[in-house]
Amino acid sequence: MVVVLVAIGVMLLPPGHKKVHPPNDDPWVLVSYDPDNPYGTYLGNGFISTRIMGDGVGSQTKTMPDGTIKTEPLPCYMAGLYDDEKLILIPTWSDLRFYDGKKQFVIDRNADYKQTLDMRTGILTTEATWRAGRKTLTGKIEVIVSRAQPNVGLVRATLTPNFDGRVLAETLIQSSPPNIDVYAHGAPHAVRPPSGYREPYVFLGRTKSSKVDIHLALMHARSKGWSVTRKGDLRGYSESRSVESGEAFDVASVALVDVRNPRALAQAVKAMDVEGLIAAHKAAWAKLWEKDTKIDGPKKDQQALHSCMFYLLQSVREGSQWSIPPMGLSNNTFSGHVFWDADTWMFPALILQHPELARSIVDYRYYTLKGAMENAKASGYAGAEYAWESGMTGREDTPPGLVYRHERHINGDVALAQWQYYLATGDLAWLKSRGLPVIRATADYWVSRVTKNANTGLYEIKRVIPPDENADLVDNSAYTNAIAAMNLRIADRAARLCGARPNPKWTEIAGKIGANMKGIMTELNQPEKRTAAPVVIDNLIEPAQAVLTEYLFLSKKAVSAVTPRP
């Protein structure tokens, strides 16, 4: 399966929009003038995430056929929070709503509207007018998922009313995710708020199957004029204040999400005020963007490149033990599983500029090695059989009946990424302790997986799915055979570098795995020789697989490399 991490929050101006807006050629900014933009924006920091739609906060308001307003919270996620091997929701922490006491303020679609994602700073700003009858609040709402502090998120609103009266601001946990048992919520006195914040609301839960604790604290920054309002069994914050027409007010909600003791949550923000949190967040993004890729050509192309890299950077962080699902932490499509996408498509985009971030991708395979070895044993093979769809433990979780679980090239993809990490960093200690165990186990799998053809003397790998997922089970997939051979050679080289004894079977088999390499190279290097019947690979026409196999062919020199990147 090839699912490149897509910039799902790319905001496009739909055709037929009533107002004409200036083109956006800023290479660092994405803009939407449509509050009904169906794509929304994904914000994350590699640990927690939120999804923001046109309303500018972590909820979406709809007007029902009978004229009533329905507001539903949007999904939030945390890296590694799997239950029954599936990535699950955490309580929505980014929902901030305003009321006049009776009616909810909602986006006025007849007023000016602009939503801006500044990719340089990771801040999403929604400028709009929110209306409740004749009453309006005009201004902006900003949302950040702190790059500086992995468990911190912030929603801040600065609004100006057109009326005198009272405004109610609510940051609520509307419901508990179905896979989490709630064992406490409220405002325990044991959790003291940092200076400048009100007493936190704390949610404590535990996943039903995996038994992982999740703690969430919501705090409102103390701001002049606001007083806490309680309503029954309220889960979250409710504050109100008097307002005057034309006089701006502000409110800021800080969320802290973790799997540690709730006492540690409130201390995560220490003595920082809201401005301090934002400044630290900006500084962290500025440090990431010190390493950038600049291209010649239209500014829109540079914008697209920044967009792709921004969403990738949002989905990973240093020190993490988790890899990147195909959609990052934007949603739990494919159950939030990790595929070869991370090792083959995302890892190369990170390793040279951000090796400290790329490491989590290869470390994840080390942490899930036990599950991969259990997969191999269950299939009757030696070594490790990495899951096509991998979650918390590494055990195979591809839905029953799908043939994709036979896409065995993933073993070689995993091993190649491990080797590339060593070549890029030169970290021999890491190779000995983490990389080699993975590389060795994947190589041992191929030794037990191949069969020798008595007629040709070549080793074959039968009944696999090639990278083309439309194909059925085939024998001797060109890419699968090529990556298996490379895996075996990498194992031999890595073992020698680490002072370990290599299995002589690795190089023997690597030199005798058959693949239609001649046909592939002819198609790639001599396009003028192509006929009306293109080169057939794996009994089907698959030029994409040819390109993938060429990638391995061009990478072959790296297998025998002695000196890693300085």
Catalogue the active-site residues. Answer: 469
Q: Which residue has the tokens 């995710």?
A: 177
Q: Which residue has the tokens 């220490």?
A: 270
Distance CA 355, CA 359 (A): 6
Contact 516, 477 (CB under 8 A): no
Residue 289: DSSP 8-state:
T
Q: Which residues pair with 182 in a beta bridge?
A: 205
- SS3 of 367-421: HCHHHHHHHHHHHCCCCCCCCCCECCCCCCCCCCCCHHHHCCCHHHHHHHHHHHH
In 3D space, the residue among 426, 436, 431 whose CA is nearest the CA of residue 355 turns out to be: 426
Helix (H, G, I), strand (E, B) or coil at 182: strand
- Reading the block at residue 479, the tokens are 């890419």
Distance CA 198, CA 220 (A): 6
For β-strands 48-52 and 41-44, DSSP reports them as: antiparallel
Q: What are phi and psi of 462, to 5 degrees?
A: -105, 155
Q: What are phi and psi of 371, to 5 degrees?
A: -65, -40
Distance CA 546, CA 528 (A): 16
Distance CA 227, CA 232 (A): 16
∠ at Cα 480 (1, 419), nearest 5°? 90
For residue 70, how many other CB atoms are within 10 A of its CB? Answer: 9
Residues in the chain: 566
Distance CA 519, CA 503 (A): 31
Distance CA 554, CA 548 (A): 10
- Reading the block at residue 252, the tokens are 């800021």
Q: Which residues pair with 227 in a beta bridge?
A: 240
Non-local CB neighbours of 392 within 8 Å, separated by 6+ positions: 80, 82, 85, 210
Helix (H, G, I), strand (E, B) or coil at 326: coil
In 3D space, the residue among 74, 53, 70, 50 whose CA is nearest the CA of residue 61 turns out to be: 70
For residue 528, how many other CB atoms are within 10 A of its CB? Answer: 4
